[in-house]
Structure 1
Amino acid sequence: MTGPVLLVEDDPAITLIVETVLKAAGYDVHAARHAQEALDFTTRTTPVLLISDLNLPGGANGATLATTLRATLPSLPVVLISGEFGENAFLPDAPPGTAYLAKPFRRASLTEAIAHARDYAP
């Protein structure tokens, strides 16, 4: 995978953990703290993967962000993460093929979710 991974997470500790795992796996990572920062980034650069917290500051929603980005990047793989739902969360607002990961998660679970999202992306 070439190009940046867009990581949208408002918790600095989670951001650091996910960035560390992704960078160790060879990914270029751009971290955004909220949806608008993520959207601003996509006006300058095209991400190859979106990893977003489901609940973002300002009432934003990671599923809505994913749907918005998929409108212009239809094959964008998406992984949504959240600490509020169990492992079998139902995400009606998420675009098809979205991988979901419950916090806390292990490194292997993150890489599996990324592989699932990349395999499904249209």
Structure 2
Amino acid sequence: MRLAHYVTMGSECTASLAKYLDNMDRSEIGWDVRIALSAYGSFSSRDYLNSQRLRCRQMHFHQKIFETADAIVTPMTGVTAYALQDDALSTGELDYINGAALVRYWIAGNFLGLPAITVPVG
């Protein structure tokens, strides 16, 4: 589901921003965003359609879960927040390894459009 989420969100982000990106000088965009947009642009229509098939299948599984459960309770993040790099403000912040750990538990909610709430504890 993680890869399907990445393909879906990346494709939809690129499509919704296309009219702005086409008129923008790429040097105005941070390198982290340029790398992300390059990755998103490599997805094919087949990739997107397969992601939507997986989304539909996962929604079916989650509907079955909600026939017997009212909520899914899980941690919001898989790790504590990591320190920002010293040059993050000037160069951008692109850290897919730590970023993946931070979003590990909210992929399903975001991908499937499920309502969610975050409650600080501890």
Same-fold call, TM cutoff 0.5: no
Structure with greater Cα Rg: 2
Q: TM-score, normalised by structure 2?
A: 0.26
Q: Whose helix proportion is higher, 1 or 2? A: 2
Quick one: higher RCO (CA 8 Å, sep 6+), 1 or 2? 2
Q: Whose strand proportion is higher, 1 or 2? A: 1
